Amino acid sequence: MIGLFTADEVRAAEAPLLAATPPGTLMQRAATGLATVCARLLGSTYGRRVVLLVGGGNNGGDALFAGASLAGRGARVTAVLLDPQRAHPAGLAALRRAGGRVAAAGDRGTDQLIARADLVLDGMLGIGGRGGLRPDAAELTRAAAEGAGITVAVDVPSGVDASTGAVDGVAFPAMHTVTFGAVKRGLVVGEGRGHAGRVHLVDIGLAPHLPPPGVRQLTDPDAAARLEPPSAGDDKYSQGVVGVVAGSATYPGAGVLCTGAALRTRPGLVRYAGAAAEGVRAAWPEAIVTAGRPGEAGRVQAWVVGPGMGTDDAARDVLAEVLATDVPVLVDADALTLLAREPGLVRRRSAPTVLTPHDREFERFGAPVGADRIGAARRLAAELGAVVLLKGDGTVVADPDGTAFVNGTGTADLATAGTGDVLSGIAGALLATGLPAAEAAAVAAHLHGRTGQLAARRGPLIAGDLVRRLPEAVGRVRGIPVDGLGDSGA
Ligand SMILES: NC(=O)C1=CN([C@@H]2O[C@H](COP(=O)(O)OP(=O)(O)OC[C@H]3O[C@@H](n4cnc5c(N)ncnc54)[C@H](OP(=O)(O)O)[C@@H]3O)[C@@H](O)[C@H]2O)[C@@H](O)CC1
Ligand SMILES: [K+]
């Protein structure tokens, strides 16, 4: 698992390390790692134009030392200083010694310099940044956004809140972020995720000083460890039976997608109960289908309730019936709308409940998501005593006990009708296996994102493609090579 940390946690961890190492050691480690990544991105350094955007703190110091290293390898490096009086003196001296040039923000020609750069390094502000970018920093950021060069952020893209990912106004649009010692939460969640690009972690020796992470990201091996294949003694019941209540007679699609996703994730046994029975039976002869109530479907180890089921009184009664059971329940879509009117239905449960809102559904529970997505998901989870899977850029899963996950997989192609129904089916199947609810939700988000990445490689995807590609994606997460895809990366 990858630990995700706030700026304060990183600062606190740095303190003993700074005290135990000679002055400047950590910055040298950071700058060396940064220069290595930049050189790799450039391919060759000789003659390449590099512009450093340099703020008055240590983030600027990192950029200056890395720039000195690139200048030493033949790159044509110019530092643009936001505040010439406060630029890191030793870093500036190192850059000058290596043959780098220095300009000030606002000098004539700075915009053209940035526009023509092969690589723009953002060392304006890191974990010391507060609030929206000041006008001069915002101006340099705009120039970098318009240029054609590779954009690399030092530690954190300037303008992104390192702890929450919030962006107030503009922020540096990095294709790559080279971060030091620990992955900051703001690089993987909310608006920050889109500004950070690919994240490269440079080891500066911080790990032993970091607290146990309260927020984590799953890797493929973490997900694989929770997607155990059936063993020789398993039968169709022992893998966990999942029940699905989704879709309506007029719109059976949600029931078909949700049931299909559950079957393809964990093909033990799926029971369907509801008005889309006919459509589900036709699509999935493997499922056991009833047009009756959930109580008539037979015993299950987890329920999925909500997608496409409507919000009328009958739907409300079905939801109440499912929530009155003593097994884990995943509540999605229409059932979230109903639950927001009657949150007591979930508070009185003893078995785990997982809620899977997007932002508008979340807001129905009383307050908008706001800029701190992890904080918002944790608040609602604690309030309702339920796991909250908040969909979005960097889907957040929050457990009522305070632990949380931020998903690291996925693609913008997943923003299409029915993909949420698929996620619910995957998560329901994993809940039925007995995984702790927050882990089931986090693994489901991971697998759903990987499946989307896989499906999107062959062109625009629709939700049904995800269902079809799920077995391949499970194999891939487990590290089994998939024929015909040409590489192993996502
Ligand atoms: N500590 C260590 O051992 C190590 C630290 N490391 C590096 O140091 C970084 C942290 O350095 P830091 O603490 O000096 O703060 P930093 O991020 O440079 O920002 C402060 C500057 O930004 C300015 N500024 C603030 N808000 C602003 C705004 N909205 N708009 C515009 N400007 C704004 C602020 O101005 P001021 O408010 O003081 O006027 C000040 O000039 C960290 O991210 C990592 O890169 C690595 O070398 C590894 C070892
Ligand atoms: K930065």
Residue nearest to atom 27 of ligand 1 (CA): 129
Q: How confident is the model at residue 250 (pLDDT cuts 50, 70, 90)?
A: confident
Place of tokens 């296996």: 433
The answer, yes or no, to whether residue 117 has pLDDT greater than 50, is yes
* Token pair listed for 166: 């919030």
**Claim to verify: residue 274 and residue 188 sit in the same structural domain:** no
394 is in an annotated binding site: yes
Do 204 and 63 fall within a single domain? yes
What pLDDT is recorded for position 346? Answer: 97
Q: How many residues does the chain have?
A: 490
- Whether the predicted model's global pTM rises above the 0.90 cut: yes
Residue 77 counted as domain residue: yes
Give me ligand 1 centre to Cα 58, in Å: 5
| Cα–ligand 1 centroid distance for 56 (angstroms) | 7
Mean pLDDT of 292-306: 97
The predicted structure's pLDDT at residue 482 = 52
Position in ligand 1 atom list of the atom nearest CA 204: 48
Mean pLDDT of 141-156: 97
First and final C-alpha spacing in the chain: 18
* CB 267 within 8 Å of CB 284: no
391 is in an annotated binding site: yes
134 CA: nearest ligand 1 atom:
30
Query: Per-residue pLDDT averaged across 60-84, rounded?
Result: 98
What are the structure tokens assigned to 306, written together?
A: 């909500």
Task: Say whether both 119 and 230 belong to one domain.
Answer: no
Q: Which residues line ligand 1 (CB under 6 A)?
A: 14, 18, 26-27, 30, 55-60, 62, 125-134, 137, 154-155, 180, 204
Helix (H, G, I), strand (E, B) or coil at 188: coil
- Tell me: do 20 and 150 sit in the same domain: yes
Domain that holds residue 94: 2-213
Using the mean position of ligand 1's atoms as its centre, give its distance from the Cα of residue 60 in Å. 7
Residue 44 CB partners (closer than 8 Å, separation 6+): none
Of ligand 1's listed atoms, the one at least distance from the Cα of 7 is 43
113 and 182 inside one domain: yes
The mean pLDDT of 191-215, rounded to a whole number, is: 97
By the 8 A CB rule, do 259 and 280 touch? yes
Query: Is 358 assigned a ligand-binding role in the annotation?
Result: yes
Is the pLDDT at 488 greater than 50? The verdict is no
Tell whether 405 is covered by a domain.
yes
Express as a percent the part of the chain with pLDDT over 70.
Answer: 98
Asked if residue 487 belongs to a domain, the reply is no
- Residue 270's CATH number: 3.40.1190.20
3-class state of residue 385 by DSSP: coil
Query: Do both 315 and 393 map to the same domain?
Result: yes
- Which residues fall within 8 angstroms of residue 406, CB to CB, at 6 or more apart? 4, 185, 188, 189, 215, 216, 217, 374, 394, 395, 396, 397
Banded model confidence at residue 481, pLDDT cuts 50, 70, 90: low
Q: List, for residues 320-362, the tens digit of each pLDDT value.
A: 999 999 999 999 999 999 999 999 999 989 999 999 999 999 9
Q: Are residues 193 and 272 in the same domain?
A: no
> Is there a single domain that holds both residue 176 and residue 258?
no
- 158 annotated among ligand-binding-site residues: yes
Residues 320 and 349 in one domain: yes
What pLDDT is recorded for position 357?
A: 98
Nearest CA to ligand 1 atom 1: 14
List the residue whose alpha carbon is closest to atom 35 of ligand 1: 56
Check whether 421 is labelled as a binding-site residue. Answer: yes
Tell the residue number behind the tokens 């939460």, with chain if given: 185
Residue 154 Cα: closest atom of ligand 1: 45
Residue 489 pLDDT greater than 70, yes or no = no
Taking the centre of ligand 1 as the mean of its atom positions, its distance from the CA of residue 158, in whole angstroms, is 10
**DSSP for residue 453:** H
pLDDT of residue 487: 35
Given ligand 1 and candidates 52, 58, 204, 210, which is best to mutate, with the most ligand atoms within 8 Å of its CB?
58
What pLDDT score does 381 carry?
A: 98
Amino acid letter, residue 49: R
Domain boundary among 180, 213, 246: 213
Ligand 2 geometric centre to CA of 242 (Å): 47
The reported pLDDT for the residue numbered 486 is 35
> Is 488 among the domain residues?
no
User: pLDDT-derived band of residue 54, with 50, 70 and 90 as boundaries?
Assistant: very high
pLDDT, the chain, mean:
95
Q: Is residue 465 part of a domain?
A: yes
Percent of the chain with pLDDT over 90: 93
Q: Tell me, yes or no, whether 224 and 148 share the same domain.
A: no
3 state DSSP class of 23: coil
Where residue 74 sits, what CATH number does that domain have? 3.40.50.10260
Task: Assess if residue 353 is contained within a domain.
Answer: yes
CB hemisphere CA count around 241 (13 angstroms) = 16
Report the pLDDT value the prediction gives residue 183, as an integer from 0 to 100: 98
Is 159 annotated in some ligand binding site? no
User: Residue 106: left if φ>0, alpha if ψ -120 to 50, beta else—which one?
Assistant: left
Minimum-distance ligand 1 atom for the alpha carbon of 83: 41
Residue 30 forms part of a structural domain? yes
Mean pLDDT of 443-459: 97
Residue 60 Cα to ligand 2 midpoint, Å, equals: 8
Give the number of the atom of ligand 1 that is nearest the alpha carbon of residue 131.
29
Interface confidence, given as ipTM, is 0.97
468 assigned ligand-binding residue: no
Say how many domains are in the chain.
2
In sequence order, what DSSP letters do the residues of 224-272 get, joined into one string?
Answer: HHTSPPPPTT--TTTT-EEEEE---SS-THHHHHHHHHHHHH--SEEEE
Q: How far, in Å, from the CA of 57 to the mean position of ligand 1?
A: 4
Residue 485 placed within a domain: no
Do residue 389 and residue 461 come from a single domain? yes
Domain boundary among 213, 242, 263: 213
Task: Specify whether 106 is located in the same domain as 152.
Answer: yes
- For ligand 1, the distance from its centroid to the CA atom of residue 132, given in whole angstroms, is 14
Distance of CA 169 to the CA centre of its chain: 22
Structural domain ending residue among the three candidates 161, 189, 213: 213
